Amino acid sequence: MRFETKFDRWLVVVLAIAACATFSLPASLFLKPGPHPTPQIVAACFVPVLWFIVLSGTLPQYYEVSLDGLFIRQGWKKSLIPYASLIEVTPQSDSRSAAVFSTDRILIVTQDNKRFVIAVAEDERFFSELAKRCPQLERRAFGLGTPLSPLAI
């Protein structure tokens, strides 16, 4: 079962405005009459390259609850997490930087202390599907977790 990523509109708007501003800088240097200073043009053209690298590292994003485990796709990074290794799946409301475009996030912790931050559009359905496949996790007021997990509420 595939789950789409949640995107906060305000964050997407801020990123779109920032992208327009950074892409307009090289264009304004090229359209300026007279000699074009090469170092400024090279520096200005480097910014769109950075945008491409960052966006290709974060998009596309989706999550799949499959027979083999939880599959996470964030840009070129793909992870398959076996259900038996999950110890904590908890919602977070956070504005710190991450590879997701939402402040409503889900923290996934595995037995080997790997942490994944995702943003699922249908989080209650996501928690229900994981609970069906992870007998070691119990339902909590906020998310799922093992009885002895360090993040127990």
The yes-or-no verdict on residue 26 having pLDDT over 80 is no
Residue 6 sits in a domain of what CATH number? 2.30.29.30
- How many domains does the chain divide into? 1
pLDDT at res. 120: 96
Residue range 102-122: average pLDDT? 94
Task: For residue range 37-78, list pLDDT tens digits in order.
Answer: 677 777 777 878 888 888 888 899 999 999 999 999 999 999
pLDDT at res. 150: 54
Q: What pLDDT band is residue 36 in, cutting at 50, 70 and 90?
A: low
Higher-confidence residue of 24 and 109: namely 109
| DSSP state string for the chain | -EEEBP--HHHHHHHHHHHHHHHHHHHHHHHSSSPPPHHHHHHHHHHHHHHHHHHHHH-SEEEEE-SS-EEEEETTEEEEE-GGGEEEEEEEE--S--SSS-SEEEEEEETT--EEEE-BTTHHHHHHHHHHH-TT-EE-SSSEE-TT-TT--
What is the extent of the structural domain holding 128? 1-153
CA 80, 82, 85, 87 dihedral sign is positive
